[in-house]
């Protein structure tokens, strides 16, 4: 078994695709409209789905926004330099919600950014 994807419901697909591709540097791997169901699925990631897990962005055409709830945590991305990644993300219009620094009660360097729908993405600096 292997992890295939994580699904996020998004209110504005174009805005979310711009964030994940232009701000975080992922690629649009595939996209399919389902007119009968009034939704679109778009898969983004850093490599082909045969090689790595992806993020499935689900856009229900008649829903403009979602409540995130209190059970969801975050998506984590490995980065070589968390501070540099924050600077690049901010320069591309992304929102940094926790600057790079050691995690609480630990030494791993982390940061957090937020996508247009409010989902948190953790940046974990490699050792």
Q: Do the beta carbons of residue 101 and residue 86 sit within 8 Å?
A: no
Is residue 102 in some structural domain? Answer: yes
Flag whether pLDDT at 5 surpasses 90. Answer: yes
Judgement on whether residues 44 and 79 belong to the same structural domain of the protein: no
Residues 46 and 80 in one domain: no
Q: In CATH, what number is assigned to the domain containing residue 11?
A: 3.10.180.10
Residue 25 lies in a domain: yes
In a domain, 68, yes or no: no
Same domain as 80, residue 37: no
- Mean of the per-residue pLDDT values of the chain: 96
Q: Cβ distance 41 to 58 under 8 Å?
A: yes
pLDDT at 85: 97
Q: Which domain holds residue 42?
A: 5-60
Please give the model's pTM, rounded to 2 decimal places. Answer: 0.89
Q: Are residues 52 and 84 in the same domain?
A: no
64-105 pLDDT, tens per residue?
999 888 888 999 999 999 999 999 999 999 999 999 999 998
Tell me: do 114 and 84 sit in the same domain. yes
Q: Is residue 117 part of a domain?
A: yes
Active site residues: 122
Reported as a pLDDT band with limits 50, 70 and 90, residue 1 is confident
Asked whether residue 51 is domain-assigned, the answer is: yes
Q: Judge whether 67 lies within some domain.
A: no
81 and 118 fall within a common domain:
yes
89 with 55, same domain?
A: no
Same domain, yes or no: 56 and 11: yes
Q: Within a domain: residue 16?
A: yes
Q: How confident is the model at residue 122 (pLDDT cuts 50, 70, 90)?
A: very high
Number of domains the chain is built from: 2
Q: Which residue has the higher pLDDT, 1 or 31?
A: 31
**Mean pLDDT, residues 22-37:** 97
């Amino acid at each position: 078994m292997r992890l295939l994807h994580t699904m996020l419901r998004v209110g504005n697909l174009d805005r979310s695709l711009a964030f994940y591709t232009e701000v975080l540097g992922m690629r649009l791997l595939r996209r399919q409209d389902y007119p009968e169901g009034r939704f679109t699925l778009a898969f983004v990631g850093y490599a082909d789905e045969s090689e790595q897990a992806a993020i499935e962005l689900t856009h229900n055409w008649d829903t403009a926004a979602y409540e995130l709830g209190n059970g969801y945590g975050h998506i984590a991305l490995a980065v070589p330099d968390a501070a540099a990644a924050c600077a690049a993300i901010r320069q591309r219009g992304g929102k940094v919600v926790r600057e790079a620094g050691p995690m609480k009660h630990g030494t791993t360097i982390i940061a957090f950014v937020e996508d247009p729908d409010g989902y948190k993405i953790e940046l974990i600096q490699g050792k």
